[in-house]
Amino acid sequence: MWLFDQILEFFSFQDINIRYVALGTVLLGASSAIVGCFTFLRKKALIGDTIAHSILPGICLSFIIFKTKDPLMLLLGAMVSGWISVYLVDYISAKSKIKPDTAIGLVLSVFFGIGILLLTYIQHSGNAAQAGLDKFLFGKAASLVQDDVITFGIVSVLLIGTIIMFFKQFSLISFDIHFAKTIGLPVRMFEILLSTLTVLAVAIGIQTVGVVLMAAMLITPAAAARFWTDKLKVMIVIAAIIGAFSGLFGAFISYTAPSMPTGPWIVVVLSFIAIGSLLIAPKNGAISKIRKQQKNKRKILEDNILKLLYKLGEKENDYFKNRSITKLKNHREIPENKFLKGLKKLRKKNQVANVNDLWVLTEKGKKSGMRIVRIHRLWELYLTTYLRIAPDHVHEDAETIEHIITPEMELKLKHLLDFPEKDPHHSDIPYKKDDNE
């Protein structure tokens, strides 16, 4: 019941502090996820990490120069140095043989080093006003106040508004930058605008979750959402929901257990959603991919067994003779247990039948076996006739294609080759009785 009470207390939002923290983390989670979708799709997932580390020198410099902690001045400094870092990564990798990932690691670690150098310099210089600058390092989500939430709100509206306004342009430069260039879109300008939005999202978010974890706020929701959809608009909505939910959850955990840090919990929740999506998403998930693979493997095994039984029948002129697995094994290298598994599956489909330990094709199974052999031989003939490949080189290719060809493609092949009788190795190409129609 304790948990239930906690949940009730939290979601009633009676406590004004909870309201700010929850609202703040939700706004942050959603808006950084939306911006993150574009950096993710542009294959610049780590640019958020670069910016997060690189805004520190800007913050410190603007504090040293203007002697104030006015959030707007600090934000300005953060924007400038974050922006320079993005530019430098591009510049270094374009102008030298240094690879982009090296450039990213170089820029982020050196900028962060300069930032820490300035920060420790400020701290040791005895200026009492500096206290609190270190929230840019670790984030202070649990201490969000009204002003922060107002800032978050304004920035979120700004980010989302800009993205809606230039949605078409942004999606163009994310998916096909060359096409965008060809149709005369000012690509460079929109890239700069998108970078600016990213820098802005990072500069705001970092105060909540800290330097290291900011990268996750941008890309993890986008990566998770990508598994569920192929449509950009849907992806953005899903990412925003995941970001918002994780923000809320993180706030809830640090409310129930005040010693728990909010930022890391948000990231842990995000990561679990992403890993879960990676596993179970219906089309792109790992599990469904493995299933598909297994299904293909099973089909190949079954096809091969039917083909073998048919060819043996062809050779011995008796399609319906009972044959033992030992005998089948002599003709094709398949482990015995695999043979048994495949045969049992085929029995369920009524393609083969068995008497004791002997196996035999059914009428239905004979037709299936015949079809595979036919496709195999047609394809061999196609390769030798149309691609001029030597007859002794076509078997391997046909072994693969025979499992893939659809009835429509088969018909096309037959018409293209004009219902040939022999394959390149002078074996008969078997047809059904009604095949010539």
Partner 1 sequence: MSDFWIILTGCLAAISCGLLGCFLILRKMAMIGDAISHAVLPGIVIAFLFSGSLNSFPMLIGAASFGLLTTFLIELFNKKGGLQKDASIGITFTWLFAVGVILISLYADNVHIDQDCVLFGEIAYVALEPLTSLLPGISAPNTVWILGTVMILVIAMIVFGYKGLFLTTFDPSFAATIGVSTVAWHYLLMSAVSVTTVVSFESVGAILVVALLIAPAATAYLLTDQLPKMLIIAALAGIIASIGGYYLAVWLDASVAAAIATVLGIEFTLVFLFAPKNGIIIKKFIK
Q: How far is the CB of 218 from partner 1 (least distance, A)?
A: 8
User: 102 or 354, CB closer to partner 1?
Assistant: 102
Q: How far is the CB of 96 from partner 1 (least distance, A)?
A: 6
Q: How far is the CB of 158 from partner 1 (least distance, A)?
A: 25
- The token duo for 214 is 């900011």
Q: How far is the CB of 111 from partner 1 (least distance, A)?
A: 8
User: 90 or 134, CB closer to partner 1?
Assistant: 134
**How far is residue 345 from each of residues 45, 306, 372, measured CA to CA in Å?**
46, 12, 18
Single out the residue of 51, 46, 42, 49 nearest to residue 88, CA to CA: 51
Q: How far is the CB of 131 from partner 1 (least distance, A)?
A: 14
Strands (E), 281-385: 323-324, 352-355, 358-361
Helical pair 47-66 and 100-124, crossing angle rounded to 10 deg: 30
- The token duo for 252 is 């809830």
User: 24 or 261, CB closer to partner 1?
Assistant: 261
Q: How far is the CB of 142 from partner 1 (least distance, A)?
A: 11
User: 108 or 159, CB closer to partner 1?
Assistant: 108
The span from the CA of 98 to the CA of 266, in Å, is: 34
**How far is residue 188 from each of residues 65, 73, 178, 193, 261, measured CA to CA in Å?**
31, 27, 12, 9, 39
User: 22 or 215, CB closer to partner 1?
Assistant: 215
The span from the CA of 346 to the CA of 389, in Å, is: 35
**How far is residue 51 from each of residues 33, 174, 175, 202, measured CA to CA in Å?**
15, 19, 22, 7
Q: How far is the CB of 104 from partner 1 (least distance, A)?
A: 6
Main-chain dihedrals φ then ψ at residue 404, nearest 5 degrees: -105, -35
Q: What is the largest CA-CA distance in the chain?
A: 100
Instruction: Find out whether 78 and 203 touch, Cβ atoms under 8 Å.
Output: yes
Q: Which residues bind partner 1 (CB under 8 A)?
A: 40, 43-46, 48-49, 53, 92, 95-99, 101-106, 108-121, 124-125, 134, 137-138, 211-213, 215-216, 219-220, 222-223, 226, 259-261, 263-265, 267-268, 271, 274, 278, 284, 286, 289
Task: Please count the other Cβ atoms lying within 10 Å of the Cβ belonging to residue 311.
Answer: 18
User: 95 or 433, CB closer to partner 1?
Assistant: 95
User: 95 or 178, CB closer to partner 1?
Assistant: 95
User: 216 or 429, CB closer to partner 1?
Assistant: 216
Q: How far is the CB of 14 from partner 1 (least distance, A)?
A: 26
Q: How far is the CB of 127 from partner 1 (least distance, A)?
A: 12
- The token duo for 190 is 């929109």
User: 138 or 319, CB closer to partner 1?
Assistant: 138
Task: Please count the other Cβ atoms lying within 10 Å of the Cβ belonging to residue 120.
Answer: 11
Single out the residue of 56, 33, 25, 6 nearest to residue 262, CA to CA: 25
The span from the CA of 322 to the CA of 269, in Å, is: 59
The span from the CA of 210 to the CA of 224, in Å, is: 21
